[in-house]
Structure formats: structure tokens, C-alpha cells
């Protein structure tokens, strides 16, 4: 379990996070919703141990992130960026193998165990056929799967994903969400930031709504997803419509655009 306890963070005099607290279990898919500037990226950086909060703490399985070395943190939490443009022409296999570096010394080369981990991660994501392709030549959806495979090869059980479907077409968004749900079924804890409330409702176990550094709501999508919350988060008046016996909800602007 990852737990954020009474976390606050400021850039100078500007308080970005204000007494934020929540937890997420293994086997759970949590979406963090919020407009630009709500504090989502700063929260992720604090959870990864890249920023030191002004108060509060982050723990994983009872261990304080601030007390762990970068290599120790990497064995617990993996970060998957929204996009990635490599400087060199790495193959997909090379990219995934990079996930194992936390297990190696400064001058060590990957050995059979690390090569096996990378191969297993490719198989788990169903992209073994891409192993020898140049990563930079892949589509956006394929790249996102490679980055997830790299995180799996890292052997962390908590995955933080920064708007993973932002640059994908509709079909690839659905396929990516199906992949993420399969990971949570395998016991991974997945936390994503997203600007897509409908996606969060359809696919996630829980939603956390962040507004101006404060948590407005945290709970099951059916319990917290409503017109008042979405309108407050994004500053637009919307109507939330229930479809298919409330298995899905869509947001419709109240005013004509």
C-alpha cells in the first residue's frame, strides 16, 4: 500500500498541495482528476521522493519514501511518463531492459536474470514481436506499452502514470485501459493522473479529485462522480448523464458552445 499523510508542499510562498491525504491498495486502479495547475504533477513528484514536502510524508508498505535511497525507491515505485522521446535509437528490448538498472551496481552490465525480466515484461504486455524494433519508430500506443513494460521489468508493484492516454487515439486509449486493468488484476497498484473524467468513471476503482491543492473528493466513481464535482474541478457547467444502467456516465456542457 502507498499512503500519503497530511502532505503539503510549496514553491516559495505559493502553496501547491494543502494537507493532502489518501491511500491506495495493491490491486487498485486510482485516477487523480484535476485541471492544469491543480497540483497533480507536484503530488507525483512528492510520492516519488523527488520533492521534499513542507509537511507530511509518503509511505510504501510502512516505509517512509524520504528515508530510502533512489535504488530502494525504484524497487517499490515506477513512474511512467506521458511521452518519451529518446536521444539515441534504442531498440524496444533495450528500453525495457533499462527498467532493471536499480538492481545493478554502478559498473555492472545486465546479466541473465535482468534479460529474463525484460523478456517476461514484453511477453506480459503482448509486445514481444516489437523487441528488435527501434523504439523511436513506434506509434504512440506502442510506445506507451513499452514504457509500461519497462516499469514491470523494474519489478516495482506501484505504478504512477502521468496522463498515459493523453496522446492516444480512441482505440489505443481503450486498449491501454484494458492493459492497466489487467495489471491491477495481477496485484499492481496503478495511480494515473488524467483530464478525462469519463475514462476514470468507466475504468477505475477509485477517483481522487484535486482542486487548487486540496482534495475535493475521494472514493468509488459511482459515489463521487457528479455534476457539482466536475463543474467545480474544471470551471464549466456540465450535466452528467447516466447510461447503460449507470455503468457509464458522460459529461455534457449545459450551455451551447
Retrieve residue 137's grid coordinates: 519508430
The C-alpha cell 523478456 sits at 119
Q: What is the CATH number of the domain that holds 120?
A: 3.40.50.300
Angle 170-185/140-153 helices, nearest 10 degrees? 20
Give one DSSP letter per residue of 183-196, joined into a string. Answer: HHHTT-EEEEEES-
**What's the structural domain count of the chain?**
1
pLDDT of residue 83: 76
Q: What is the spatial distance between Cα 30 and Cα 20, in angstroms, rounded to a whole number?
A: 15
> Which residue range(s) make up the domain with 225?
2-253
pLDDT of residue 10: 96
pLDDT of residue 128: 95
118 with 99: CB under 8 angstroms? yes
pLDDT of residue 140: 86
pLDDT of residue 243: 86
Which of 32, 3, 29 lies closest to 183, judged by CA?
Answer: 29
Cβ atoms within 10 Å, residue 83: 13
148 with 82: CB under 8 angstroms? no
pLDDT of residue 86: 76
Angle at the Cα of 137 (from 135 to 143), degrees rounded to 5? 50
pLDDT of residue 257: 52
Q: What is the spatial distance between Cα 148 and Cα 243, in angstroms, rounded to a whole number?
A: 31
- What are the residue ranges in the chain where pLDDT is below 70? 256-257
State pLDDT tens for residues 25-37. 999 999 999 999 8
Residues paired with residue 238 on neighbouring β-strands, in sequence order: 253
* 241 membership: H or E segment, kind and range: strand 238-243
What is residue 88's DSSP assignment?
A: S
Rounded to two decimals, the pTM is: 0.91
Amino acid at each position: 500500500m502507498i499512503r500519503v499523510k497530511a502532505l503539503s508542499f510549496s514553491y516559495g510562498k505559493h502553496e501547491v498541495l494543502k494537507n493532502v491525504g489518501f491511500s491506495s491498495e495493491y490491486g487498485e486502479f486510482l485516477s487523480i482528476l484535476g485541471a492544469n495547475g491543480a497540483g497533480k504533477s507536484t503530488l507525483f513528484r512528492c510520492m516519488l521522493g523527488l520533492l521534499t514536502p513542507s509537511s507530511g510524508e509518503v509511505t510504501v508498505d510502512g516505509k517512509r519514501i524520504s528515508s530510502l535511497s533512489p535504488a530502494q525507491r525504484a524497487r517499490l515505485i515506477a513512474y511512467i511518463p506521458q511521452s518519451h522521446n529518446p536521444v539515441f535509437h534504442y531498440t524496444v528490448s533495450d528500453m525495457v531492459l533499462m527498467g532493471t538498472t536499480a538492481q545493478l551496481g554502478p559498473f555492472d552490465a545486465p546479466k541473465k536474470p535482468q534479460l529474463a525480466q525484460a523478456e517476461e515484461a514484453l511477453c506480459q504486455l503482448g509486445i514481444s514481436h516489437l523487441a528488435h524494433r527501434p523504439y523511436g519508430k513506434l506509434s504512440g500506443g506502442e510506445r506507451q506499452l513499452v514504457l509500461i513494460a519497462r516499469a514491470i521489468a523494474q519489478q516495482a508493484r506501484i505504478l504512477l502514470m502521468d496522463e498515459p492516454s493523453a496522446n492516444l487515439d480512441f482505440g489505443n486509449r481503450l486498449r491501454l485501459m484494458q492493459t492497466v486493468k489487467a495489471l491491477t488484476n495481477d496485484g499492481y497498484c496503478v495511480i494515473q493522473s488524467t483530464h478525462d473524467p469519463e475514462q476514470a468513471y468507466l475504468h477505475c476503482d477509485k477517483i481522487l479529485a484535486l482542486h487548487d491543492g486540496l482534495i475535493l473528493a475521494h472514493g468509488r466513481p459511482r459515489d463521487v462522480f457528479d455534476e457539482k464535482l466536475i463543474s467545480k474541478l474544471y470551471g464549466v457547467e456540465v450535466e452528467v448523464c447516466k447510461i447503460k444502467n449507470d455503468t457509464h456516465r458522460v459529461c455534457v456542457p449545459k450551455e451551447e458552445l
